[in-house]
Structure formats: C-alpha cells, structure tokens
Structure 1
Amino acid sequence: MEKAIIISRCSTNENRQDVTRQSQELISNYGNQYEIVKEFTYYKSGTKNDEVNAEILAYAIKNNIQHIIAIEISRISRKISSFALFLEKCNDNGINIIIDNFKLHTLLPNGEINGMVQTMLSIASTFASLELTMIKERLNSGRDKYIRDGGKLGRKVGSEKDHKKLIAEHSDIVKFLKQGQSIRNTMTLTGKSSGTVQKIKKILQPELV
C-alpha cells in the first residue's frame, strides 16, 4: 500500500474550519486506499505557514511518501507563490498532491505530471488568495460600520474618568499607598475594605513602581 500524509490546517479565526474534522474526513475517504503514516494538523495563517510546508516536504521526501492529501488547496497555502513552490517540489520528487474537495491528483498513475490538473490548481490557488483578501475586506467593512454606528475600539470609554473619580473619592488611600504603606496597614489607617484599597492600588500601580 502506498504511503500518504495528511495536511489539516486552520487559521485561528476560521470558525467554519476545524483541523480535527478535516483529518477525520480525509482518513475516512483515503484510509482504505493509502497507508496514512502521518497527520500534520495545526493552526496557523495560510499566508505565514511556509516553514511548516518546508517541514512537511522534508518529511515526505525523507520517508518516501507518495501522496500528500489536503481537503482543499487553501489548507496548503493561501499564497500563490508558496503553493507554486510546494507543487514544484512535489513534482521534482514524484509526490502526488490530492485535493479532496475537487478529487484532483497532480500526478497521473504512471507518475507523470497531470498538466490539466496542475493548471486548474494554479487557478484555484489564485482564488484561495482572493478569498483571503475578501475575508479581510469584510472584516474591515464590519469594523468600519461598527465605528460609524457609534461603536468604540480599544479601551472602554469612560475608564479614565472613572479612575479619576475613584482617586478623588479615596484620596486618603492614595496618600498612604504613595507613602509605601501595605494594603493591610492602609485598610487599618483608612477604615476601608481590602477590595477598595486593592482597586485604588491597581489604578496607581504605574506610579508606585
């Protein structure tokens, strides 16, 4: 039985994807055809996974792997240039890439390059890159709309104002903490609770260092 490895990749923000589901589906589809000797399952952006792809290729070449299987082309890479390099290295070493969602094989059964499939995958690689661009544009558009509708990004509005109010209300705590008194001593000297003293200390922390 010929040997194969599986690639299952997700970016951390891809809610519709799951590395476990990908692996299970691929094992179910190909486990009877090939000996699945290793699964590369990981979470990383498809634009920043060149090092992982290099590791996968090195393993495949060293262990005489005949097939590399992924559920779709974007699981290998979302960069056109990176996928093209990955494909070239596989061709040079007689490794067949199987893209499950289209049931495409980059090599023919006799080991020759499947020119039609490789042209199709080059086009699919372009769409995978464009898909990422569209995802980013949708996220940016949603963020811009949120801001236009009055939403605020970053630190909660009013926190600085609330801090100033608390400091003004508990100036006695501020005084003793700045003197270097402990939380327990400050509680005794002011008659205030541990929670209040700790809250003021947290606000003053940059000044107390």
Structure 2
Amino acid sequence: MEKAIIISRCSTNDSKQDVTRQSEELISNYGNTYQIIKEFSYYQSGTKNDEVNAEILEFAIGNDVKHIIALETSRISRKISSFALFLEKCNEYRINVIIDNFKLHTLLEGGEINGMVQTMLSIASTFASAELRLIKSRLDSGRDKYIRSGGKLGRKVGSTKDVKKLLVQHSDIVKFVKQKQSVRNIMTLTGKSSGTVQKVKKLLNNVA
C-alpha cells in the first residue's frame, strides 16, 4: 500500500469535536486503500497556517508519502496563494492531493498532473477564501450593531484576573511549558489555541 498522510484542521474558535470527526471520517474512507502513516490534526486559522503546511510538506517529501488527504481545500489553507504554493510543491514531488468532499485527485494514476482537477481546486480555493471574508464581514457587522445598542466588548465585569487561577485552569499547558515543549507541540498535546499557550507561557515567565 502506498503511504498517505491526513490533514485535519479547525480554527481555534471551532468545536474541538470537528477535528476528531475529520480524522475519523478520512481514516474510514481511505484506511483500507492507503497506509496512513501520520495525521496532522491541529487547531489554527487557515490564514495563518503556512508554517504547519511547510512542516507537512517536509514530512511528506522526507518519508516518500504519495498521497495527502484532506476533507476540503480550506483544511489545507483559506489563502488562495498558500493553497496554490502547497499544490505546486506537491506537483513537483509527484504527491497526489486528495480532496475528499469532491473526491478529487490532483494526479492521475500514472503520476501525471490532472489539469482539470487542479483548475477545479483553484476555483474551490477561491470560494473558501471568499467564504472567510463573508464570515468576517458578518461578525464585524454583528459586533458593530452590538456596540451601537450599548453592548460592551472585552473582559466581563467581575471576571478574575488572578494569575494563579488561570495557571491552575491551564495546568496541562503549564506542565508542558516546564518540559520546554514547543508551542506547536503543546497545542497538539492539549488541543488549545496558540494564543492560549502563548498567554500561559508569558504568565509563567513573569511569575518566574
């Protein structure tokens, strides 16, 4: 069986169950066809994950991976340019990218580039980027309306600023920070966002 890896990504504000569901669905669909040697499951914005994508490509190239599988184009990136560069690199090393929701393969069985599919994926990537802009526009509109109606943003009145309480709340992050794990590893191990990990790490440094 040819080697494959799975990409499962959700933004930090998505349900943590979603990333698990993605992995389980992809393994169910492709586990009997390919040897899935690694899962890249993480929580990060699809507009800020270029570093993770570089790590994925490095792993795929270094381990002779033939297939990279994701549920949809936006799981790889919501930036058109980033998705295009990712696809270009995969083409260069003859790595087939499988987009499950459309059942599309970027390479033909002989390893040739599937031009029609790659054009379709470029269009899909454009829609993914446009969808994100629409979501942001709606959120901004809702926030502005809330403020005009007298609502207040930021920390709620009465919320604790007690550093010790926060460190206890995120004791799992504290443990891995003390082990000198990288931020990315801590995100993977705890399922928490980069912002939360960085905040706890900064508080620990201040306490020290």
TM-score range, shorter chain: 0.7 to 0.9
1:195 maps to none
1:70 maps to 70
Unaligned runs of 5+ in 1: 159-209
Distance 1:66 1:90 in 2: 9
Q: Residues 96 and 106 of structure 1 are in contact (CA less than 8 Å); yes or no, is this contact kept in structure 2?
A: yes
Give the number of aligned pairs. Answer: 159
2:174 maps to none
In the TM superposition, what is the alpha-carbon distance from 1:155 to its structure 2 partner?
A: 5.2
Would the alpha carbon gap of residues 29 and 157 (structure 1) be closer, same or farther in structure 2, given more than 3 Å must change?
Answer: closer
Give the TM-score normalised by the residue count of structure 1. Answer: 0.73
Give the TM-score normalised by the residue count of structure 2. Answer: 0.73
1:126 maps to 126
Would the alpha carbon gap of residues 155 and 6 (structure 1) be closer, same or farther in structure 2, given more than 3 Å must change?
Answer: closer
Q: For residue 144 of structure 2, give the secondary structure of its aligned residue in structure 1.
A: helix
1:150 maps to 150
Matches within 5 A, 1:39-188: 39-154=39-154
Taking every aligned residue pair, what percent have the same amino acid on both sides?
Answer: 82
Q: Residues 90 and 96 of structure 1 are in contact (CA less than 8 Å); yes or no, is this contact kept in structure 2?
A: yes
Would the alpha carbon gap of residues 155 and 69 (structure 1) be closer, same or farther in structure 2, given more than 3 Å must change?
Answer: closer
Where in structure 1 do 4 or more consecutive aligned residues deviate above 4 Å? 155-158
Using CA pairs below 8 Å that are at least 6 residues apart, which structure has the higher relative contact order? 2
Unaligned runs of 5+ in 2: 159-208
Distance 1:118 1:41 in 2: 24
Q: Mark the structure with the bigger radius of gyration.
A: 1
Would the alpha carbon gap of residues 51 and 101 (structure 1) be closer, same or farther in structure 2, given more than 3 Å must change?
Answer: same
Letter in 2 for 1:109: E
Per-residue deviation, residues 27-75 of structure 1 (Å, max 9, x unmatched):
0000010000000000111111111000000100010000000001000
